[in-house]
C-alpha cells in the first residue's frame, strides 16, 4: 500500500514540474535578442509597400565597459529592408542580423515626409499596431528627409545609446511645447474622431535660413543654430485625413497646444520687441497655470467659439532699460502691448487653421461633444465640416506676476546705448 | 437506492475538517466581485461599447439597476425556505421533472459559457503575453490550475477570493495611476452615448450577470443564509460594478471613442501603456500576475458550479469525482476552432440571449409560486446574524 502511494507521488512530481516549467516555453534570453530602438518607414518603389529601417541597439554596450570584447563593436546598426511591410520585417531582417528581433522596446517610429504626404498614414500605422509586441504609446516622428537617412545621420554627441536620445528629447518637449508629443495611440484616436493630428517634425538637414531673427517661429531645419546634435526637432507636421498637408512652426505648435487646453505645457519663454524702445527684445516667461476656458455656442447658424486665455507673465529681462518695474503706467502699457501681440498671434493661427488647412488643429471638437446628449446628435451636427466657418474669438487675459529676481533695470543707462541707437 | 439531495451537509465532502464548510459574508463579496468585476477586462467590454457607445462606462450601473429587484426577490425566496438551496426550493415549488429540465438548461448554457470564456481568456493571455506557447498547452495549464482551486471546494474558493480581493482592487487603482496623465475624460461625452437604443439591448443581454443567481444554488452553504446572500450579493455586485465602471472609463479615456472600437483585449493594452514617471514603464507583467489569479478564481467558481449542477442531475454520490469529466469536456470543447473573433462574439451573444431568456423567467416563476405555495412567511425578520 505504502509503496503504491510512493510510486504515485514519484509520478506526480514530474507532472507537477510540467506545469511550472510551462512558463519556459516563451523564455527569452537577453543575450538572444536584438532590441530595436527605432523603426523608420519610407515610401517603397512598389506602390503599397514600404521601406523599413530598423535601428538595432547593441545591448551589450549598456553595461559598464571594462575593456571587454564589445569595445570595438558599433553602438547600433541600421538596416533597411526595401519594398516590404512593417510586420514581415521581424523575420526577414534575420537574413542579416544574428539574433531574434524584438520590437517591444521601440522608442520611436520615424516616418518620411514623402510617405506621409503620399500614402494613407493611417493604414501604415494601423498595420504596425496589430502586432502584439508593438506598443500604442510609442512616439511618432515625421522626418523631412527619408526616415532611412534620418536614422543613419542621427548620431547624438552625448548619447552613446540611442534610446536615451529619444527618451530625453521627449521629456524636454513635455515642458516646452515646441513640439507636440505625438504617439500612435493619440493618432489612432484623432483619426477615429475625424480630427487632424500634429506629429513631431524633425530633420537632419540643417540649412542656413534667409529669414532672420525668427527664434522658434520656424520649422525644423531652419533654425538659426550652429553646432549641437545633427537632429533638429521643432514644430509639427499636420496630418489630416491620413495625409500630411502642412507644417507648423515651433511657436504655432505651442499656441495650438495651448488653445487645445493641453495642460502638458506649463511655462514657456517668449521674446517681444520692446514697445517703448523697438530694437530691444523683452524676454518674458508666460505661464498658463490655469487652462484656457473654451466656450462653445452652437445655437446660431455658425458655431461660435470663445476662448479666454489667462496668462501669467514674468518679465525676465528688459535690456532697453525702460523702468517697467516701478512705473505703473509703463507697466500697463507693456501689459496691453503683450496682450495685443498675443491676441494677434492667436488670431493669425486660427485664421490659418480655418482657411489654409481647414482643420480643427485645436481639438475643439472635444468641447463641442459635451454640448450633445447622444452620439447621433453629435454626428449629425458634423463639427469637422463646420469648423472652417466657425466664429472664433480669442481673448487674452494677461496678468503681470513678477519681474524675475532683480529689482529694477539699470539705474544708469550705460553710455554706449543712447549713442549707438 | 438513489440518493436525493435533501440535506446540503451530506453533499459536500469535508475537505477542511477544522471548519464548517460554509462561506460567509466576506467570502461571498469577494466571489461576487471576481464573478462580475473580471468581466470589465474581457470580451464583455466590446458588447458594452456596441450597446452604449461612449457611454459604455455607465453600463455596469445601468445593469445593476436592472438586476437589483431580482436580487431582492431571489433573496426573499431563499428566506422563505431558509437553509435550502435553489434546486430544493424549485423541486418543492414546480416539481422534480421541471426542476430537472431547468437544471439541465442551466448546466448546458453554463457549460457553453464556461467553454467560450475560458477559451477567450486563454487566447488573450496567449496573444498578449505568450506568443510562442501553443494555445492548447496554455489552455490546459490554465484549466488545470483553475480546476485545482475548484476541487478544493467552495470554502477554499471563497478564501482565495477574499485574500485576493485587496490586490485586485489595488491593481485597478494602480492601473488608473499609471494612465492618469493620458486619460482624456472628455471622450465620455456625449454623456448618453447611443441614447435610448441601449435599453432593449441591455434587457436582452442581462445574461451577462446571471452568475450571481447561479450562486443561489449554494444558498444552503452560506452563513446566516439568505441575509448573507442578499447583502453580500448587493455589496459585491456594487463593488464589481464600480470596478468595471472605472476600468471602462479608463479605456474610453485612454483609447478615445470611437477609436476604442478597434481595440481588442482592452485591459491588457491598457496595462501595456501604464507608466509611472519617466523610467518605470513597460510593466504589464506586474498586472498580468493579479489578473491571471483573478481569472483562476473566476473560472474556479464556474467549474465548481458546473460540477455541482451535474452532480445534481446525475445524482452522483460523490460530486468531486465529476471534476475530471467536466474539466475534460471544457478542455475539448474549447479546442473548437472559431477561425474568427467575430464568430466568437456571435456565439457569446447567443448564449447570453439564451441565459437571459431562461434564467430570469425561471427565477420569476419560482418567486411567484412561492407566494402561493408554502414556505415560511415573513421569514426574513426571524433570521438574524448568528
**pLDDT, position B14:** 47
What are the helix (H) ranges across chain B?
A: 8-11, 25-36, 44-52, 59-80, 86-94, 96-128, 135-151, 154-179, 198-204, 211-214, 225-255, 266-273, 284-314, 323-334, 341-372, 379-382
Q: Which residues of chain B make contact with A377, given a CB cutoff of 8 A?
A: 190
The angle, 0 to 180 degrees and rounded to 10, between the axes of the packed helices A121-129 and A184-192 is 120
Residue B9 has pLDDT above 70, yes or no: no
Q: Is the dihedral of CA B67, B69, B71, B77 positive or negative?
A: negative
Widest Cα–Cα separation across chain B: 70
CA separation, residue A11 to residues A6, A8, A291 (Å): 9, 5, 68
What is d(CA A37, CA A95) in angstroms, rounded to the nearest whole number? 19
Strands A108-112 and A140-143, by their bridges, are parallel
Please indicate, yes or no, if residue A393 is contained in any of the structural domains.
Answer: yes
B204 touches chain A (CB under 8 A): no
CATH classification at residue A386: 3.30.300.210
Question: Is B275 contained in some domain?
Answer: yes
Mutate to test the interface with A, among B130, B131, B184, B256 (most CBs of A within 10 A): B256
Closest chain B C-alpha to A371 CA, distance in angstroms: 7
pLDDT band at A53 (very low <50, low <70, confident <90, very high): very high
In chain A, pLDDT over 70 holds for what percent of residues? 90
Q: Please say if the pLDDT value at position B230 is more than 80.
A: yes
Confidence at A268, pLDDT banded by 50, 70, 90:
low
Q: What's the confidence (pLDDT) of residue B4?
A: 47
Q: Report if residue B320 sits inside a domain.
A: yes
Question: Across A22-26, A177-181, A195-199, B368-372, which has the greatest mean pLDDT?
Answer: A195-199
Q: How far, in Å, CA of A58 to CA of B375, rounded?
A: 76
A20: in domain:
no
| Average pLDDT over every residue of B227-244 | 91
Average pLDDT across chain B, whole number: 85
Give the pLDDT of residue A225: 81
Which of B7-21, B68-82, B273-287, B369-383 bottoms out in mean pLDDT, i.e. has the lowest? B7-21
Q: How far is CA A228 from CA A110, A204, A212, in A?
A: 21, 11, 19
Average pLDDT over residues A372-401: 87
Q: Which residues pair with A79 in a beta bridge?
A: A54
Same domain? For A252 and A270 the reply is no
Q: Using one digit for the tens of pLDDT, what is the confidence trace for B160-173?
A: 999 999 999 999 99
Residue B30 lies in a domain: yes
Claim to verify: residue A357 and residue A249 sit in the same structural domain: no
Residues contacting residue B239 through CB under 8 Å, at least 6 positions apart: B29, B32, B33, B37, B169
Q: Mark whether A287 and A218 lie in a shared domain.
A: no
pLDDT band, residue B216 (cuts 50/70/90): confident
DSSP state string for A53-105: EEEEE-GGGGSPP-S-GGGGS-SEEEEEEEEE-TTTHHHHGGGT-SSEEE-TT
- Domain count along chain B: 1
CB atoms within 10 A of CB A373: 15
Q: Band of the pLDDT at A174, cuts 50, 70, 90?
A: confident
**For residue A73, what pLDDT is reported?**
77
d(CA B118, CA A180): 42
- Of A51-60, A401-410, B56-65, the range with the highest mean pLDDT is B56-65
Record: contact A167-B182, CB cut-off 8 A: no
Asked if B138 and A376 come within 8 Å (Cβ–Cβ), the reply is no
The answer on A207 and A82 residing in a single domain is yes
Does A27 fall in a domain? no
What pLDDT was estimated at residue A168? 85
Relative to beta strand A76-84, strand A50-57 is antiparallel
State what percent of residues in chain A have pLDDT above 90. 9
Of residues A122, A135, A262, the one with CA closest to residue B270 = A135
Hey, which residues does B222 pair with through a beta bridge? Answer: B23
Domain boundary among A262, A287, A311: A262
Q: How many inter-chain contacts (A to B, CB under 8 Å) are there?
A: 94
Å between A322 CA and nearest CA of chain B: 42
With residue A22 as reference, give the H or E element that holds it. none
H or E segment at A299? none
Query: What domain range includes position B341?
Result: 20-192+209-378
Q: Determine whether the interchain pair B137/A372 forms a contact, defined as Cβ–Cβ distance below 8 Å.
A: no
Residue pair A293/A308 in contact by the 8 Å Cβ criterion: yes
Same domain? For A302 and A381 the reply is: yes
Q: Residue B155 burial (CB < 10 Å; 0-12/13-18/19+)?
A: buried
Residue B249 Cα, gap to closest chain A Cα (Å) = 15
Q: Chain B: nearest CA to A108, how far in angstroms? A: 15
Q: Do B131 and A191 touch (CB under 8 A)?
A: no
Length of chain A: 421
Res B381 pLDDT > 70: no
- Contact list, A384 vs chain B (CB under 8 Å): none
* Cα–Cα distance measured from residue B279 to residue B181, given in angstroms and rounded to the nearest whole number: 15
Which of A296 and A59 is assigned the larger pLDDT?
A296
Residue A231: per-residue pLDDT:
87
Residue B200 lies in a domain: no
**Interchain pair A19, B144: CB under 8 A:** yes
Average pLDDT along chain A: 82
Quick one: closest CA in A to B54, which residue? A375
Contact across the interface for B273 and A136, Cβ inside 8 Å: yes
Cβ distance B259 to A171 less than 8 Å, yes or no, reads no
Q: Does A126 fall in a domain?
A: yes
Closest Cα to residue B238, out of B23, B33, B30? B33
The residues, ordered by sequence, that sit 6+ positions from B131 with a Cβ below 8 Å of its Cβ are A26, A132, A133
User: Within 10 A of A189 (CB to CB), how many other CB atoms are there?
Assistant: 23
Q: pLDDT tens for residues A308-365?
A: 988 888 877 777 777 777 777 877 887 888 888 888 888 999 998 988 888 888 888 9
- What CA–CA distance (Å, rounded) separates A184 from A161? 23
pLDDT of residue B1: 38
pLDDT computed for residue B176 by the predictor? 93
Q: Is the pLDDT at B15 greater than 60, yes or no?
A: no
Same-domain check for residues A192 and A301: no
Same domain, A277 and A231: no
Residues A239 and A301 in one domain: no
3-class DSSP state of B193: coil
Residues of chain B neighbouring A191 (CB-CB closer than 8 A):
259
* ipTM for this prediction: 0.86
The C-alpha cell at A202 is 524633425
Residues 6+ apart with CB under 8 A from B123: B135
- Residue B269 touches partner A, C-beta closer than 8 Å: yes
In a domain, A13, yes or no: no
Contact in structure between B221 and B9 (CB atoms under 8 Å): no
- Strand A140-143 with A76-84, pairing: unpaired
All three cell numbers of A385, joined, read 465640416
Total domain count, chain A: 2
Q: Which of A25, A167, A377 sits opposite B190 (nearest CB)?
A: A377
- % of chain B beyond a pLDDT of 90: 41
Residue B225, number of CB atoms within 10 A of its CB: 23
Q: Which chain B positions have a beta carbon within 8 Å of A370's beta carbon?
A: 186, 189-191
Chain A residues lying within 8 Å of B128, measured CB to CB: 132
Mean pLDDT, residues B144-148: 90
- H or E stretch including A279? none
Least confident of A103-117, A395-409, B87-101, B215-229: A395-409
Last residue of a domain, one of A242, A262, A282: A262
Q: Please state which of the ranges A238-242, A368-372, B249-253, B379-383 shows the lowest mean pLDDT.
A: B379-383
**Average pLDDT over every residue of A153-180:** 82
Phi and psi dihedrals of A37, rounded to 5? -90, -45
Chain A hits for B178, Cβ within 8 Å: none
| A128 located within any domain | yes
- Mean pLDDT value of segment A263-278: 69
Same-domain status, A281 and A385: yes
- The C-alpha angle with vertex A223 and arms to A218 and A228, in degrees rounded to 5, equals 145
- Give the integer Cα–Cα distance in Å for A336 and A51: 53
User: Does the residue B64 lie in any domain?
Assistant: yes
**Chain A: residue whose CA lies nearest to B268:** A132
* pLDDT at residue number B303: 93
At B62, which CATH number? 1.10.4160.10
Within this chain, do residues A99 and A77 fall inside the same structural domain, yes or no? yes
Whether B129 is covered by a domain: the verdict is yes
Q: Which domain holds residue A157?
A: 32-61+73-262
Digit-coded pLDDT (tens) for B236-245 = 999 999 999 9
Residue in B128, B144, B190 closest to A372 by CB: B190
- Any residues with CB less than 8 A from the CB of B3 and at least 6 apart, and which? B10, B315, B317
pLDDT band at A412 (very low <50, low <70, confident <90, very high): low
What is the pLDDT, as a whole number, of residue B6?
Answer: 46
Amino acid at each position: 500500500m505504502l509503496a503504491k502511494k510512493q510510486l504515485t507521488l514519484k509520478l506526480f512530481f514530474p507532472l507537477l514540474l510540467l506545469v511550472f516549467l510551462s512558463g519556459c516555453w516563451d523564455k527569452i534570453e537577453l543575450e538572444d535578442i536584438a532590441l530595436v530602438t527605432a523603426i523608420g518607414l519610407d515610401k517603397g518603389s512598389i506602390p503599397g509597400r514600404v521601406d523599413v529601417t530598423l535601428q538595432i541597439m547593441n545591448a551589450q554596450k549598456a553595461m559598464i565597459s571594462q575593456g571587454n570584447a564589445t569595445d570595438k563593436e558599433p553602438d547600433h546598426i541600421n538596416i533597411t529592408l526595401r519594398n516590404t511591410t512593417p510586420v514581415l520585417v521581424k523575420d526577414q531582417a534575420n537574413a542579416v542580423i544574428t539574433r531574434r528581433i524584438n520590437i517591444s522596446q521601440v522608442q520611436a517610429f520615424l516616418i518620411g515626409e514623402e510617405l506621409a504626404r503620399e500614402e494613407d498614414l493611417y493604414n501604415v500605422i494601423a498595420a504596425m499596431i496589430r502586432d502584439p509586441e508593438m506598443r500604442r504609446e510609442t512616439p511618432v516622428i515625421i522626418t523631412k528627409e527619408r526616415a532611412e537617412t534620418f536614422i543613419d545621420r542621427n548620431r547624438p554627441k552625448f548619447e552613446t545609446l540611442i534610446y536615451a536620445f529619444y527618451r530625453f528629447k521627449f521629456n524636454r518637449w513635455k515642458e516646452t511645447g515646441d513640439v507636440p508629443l505625438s504617439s500612435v495611440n493619440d493618432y489612432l484616436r484623432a483619426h477615429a474622431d475625424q480630427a487632424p493630428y500634429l506629429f513631431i517634425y524633425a530633420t537632419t538637414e540643417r540649412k542656413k535660413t534667409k529669414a532672420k531673427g525668427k527664434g522658434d517661429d520656424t520649422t525644423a531645419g531652419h533654425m538659426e543654430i550652429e553646432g549641437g546634435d545633427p537632429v533638429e526637432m521643432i514644430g509639427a507636421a499636420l496630418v489630416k485625413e491620413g495625409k500630411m498637408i502642412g507644417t507648423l512652426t515651433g511657436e504655432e505648435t505651442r499656441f495650438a497646444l495651448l488653445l487645445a487646453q493641453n495642460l502638458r505645457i506649463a511655462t514657456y519663454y517668449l521674446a517681444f520687441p520692446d514697445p517703448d524702445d523697438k530694437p530691444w527684445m523683452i524676454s518674458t516667461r508666460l505661464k498658463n497655470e490655469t487652462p484656457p476656458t473654451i466656450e462653445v455656442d452652437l445655437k446660431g447658424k455658425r458655431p461660435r467659439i470663445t476662448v479666454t486665455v489667462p496668462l501669467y507673465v514674468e518679465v525676465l529681462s528688459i535690456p532697453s532699460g525702460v523702468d517697467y518695474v516701478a512705473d505703473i503706467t509703463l507697466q500697463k502699457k507693456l501689459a496691453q502691448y503683450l496682450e495685443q501681440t498675443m491676441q494677434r498671434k492667436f488670431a493669425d493661427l486660427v485664421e490659418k487653421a480655418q482657411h489654409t488647412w481647414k482643420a480643427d488643429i485645436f481639438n475643439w471638437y472635444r468641447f463641442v461633444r459635451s454640448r450633445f446628449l447622444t452620439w447621433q446628435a453629435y454626428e449629425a451636427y458634423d463639427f469637422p465640416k463646420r469648423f472652417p466657418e466657425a466664429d472664433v474669438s480669442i481673448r487674452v487675459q494677461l496678468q503681470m506676476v513678477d519681474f524675475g529676481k532683480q529689482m529694477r533695470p539699470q539705474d544708469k543707462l550705460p553710455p554706449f546705448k543712447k549713442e549707438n541707437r | 437506492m438513489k440518493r436525493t439531495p435533501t440535506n446540503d451537509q451530506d453533499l459536500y465532502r469535508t475537505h477542511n475538517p477544522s471548519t464548517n464548510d460554509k462561506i460567509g459574508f466576506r467570502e461571498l463579496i469577494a466571489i461576487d466581485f471576481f464573478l462580475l468585476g473580471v468581466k470589465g477586462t474581457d470580451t464583455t467590454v466590446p458588447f458594452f461599447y456596441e450597446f452604449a457607445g461612449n457611454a459604455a462606462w455607465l453600463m455596469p450601473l445601468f445593469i445593476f439597476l436592472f438586476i437589483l429587484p431580482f436580487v431582492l426577490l431571489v433573496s426573499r425566496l431563499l428566506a422563505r425556505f431558509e437553509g435550502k438551496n435553489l434546486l430544493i426550493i424549485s423541486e418543492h415549488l414546480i416539481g422534480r421533472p421541471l426542476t430537472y429540465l431547468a437544471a439541465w438548461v442551466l448546466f448546458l448554457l453554463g457549460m457553453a459559457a464556461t467553454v467560450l470564456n475560458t477559451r477567450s481568456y486563454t487566447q488573450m493571455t496567449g496573444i498578449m503575453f505568450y506568443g510562442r506557447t501553443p494555445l492548447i498547452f496554455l489552455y490546459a495549464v490554465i484549466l488545470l490550475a483553475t480546476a485545482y482551486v475548484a476541487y478544493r471546494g467552495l470554502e477554499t474558493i471563497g478564501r482565495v477570493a477574499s485574500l485576493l480581493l485587496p490586490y485586485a482592487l489595488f491593481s485597478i487603482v494602480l492601473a488608473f495611476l499609471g494612465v492618469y496623465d493620458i486619460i482624456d475624460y472628455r471622450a465620455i461625452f456625449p454623456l448618453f452615448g447611443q441614447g435610448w437604443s441601449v435599453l432593449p439591448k441591455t434587457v436582452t443581454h442581462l445574461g451577462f450577470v446571471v452568475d450571481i443567481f447561479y450562486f443561489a444554488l449554494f444558498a444552503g452553504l452560506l452563513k446566516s443564509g439568505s441575509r448573507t446572500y442578499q447583502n453580500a450579493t448587493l455589496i459585491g455586485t456594487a463593488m464589481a460594478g464600480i470596478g468595471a465602471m472605472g476600468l471602462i472609463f479608463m479605456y474610453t479615456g485612454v483609447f478615445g471613442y470611437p477609436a476604442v472600437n478597434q481595440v481588442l483585449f482592452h485591459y491588457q493594452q491598457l496595462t501595456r501603456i501604464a507608466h509611472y514617471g519617466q523610467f518605470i514603464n513597460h510593466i504589464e507583467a506586474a498586472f498580468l500576475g493579479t489578473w491571471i489569479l483573478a481569472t483562476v478564481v473566476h473560472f474556479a467558481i464556474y467549474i465548481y458550479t458546473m460540477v455541482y449542477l451535474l452532480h445534481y442531475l446525475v445524482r452522483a454520490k460523490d460530486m468531486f469525482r465529476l471534476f475530471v469529466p467536466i474539466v475534460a469536456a471544457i478542455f475539448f470543447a474549447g479546442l473548437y476552432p472559431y477561425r474568427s473573433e467575430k464568430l466568437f462574439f456571435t456565439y457569446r451573444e447567443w448564449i447570453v440571449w439564451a441565459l437571459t431568456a431562461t434564467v430570469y423567467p425561471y427565477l420569476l416563476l419560482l418567486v411567484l409560486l412561492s407566494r402561493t405555495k408554502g414556505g415560511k412567511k415573513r421569514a426574513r425578520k426571524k433570521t438574524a446574524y448568528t
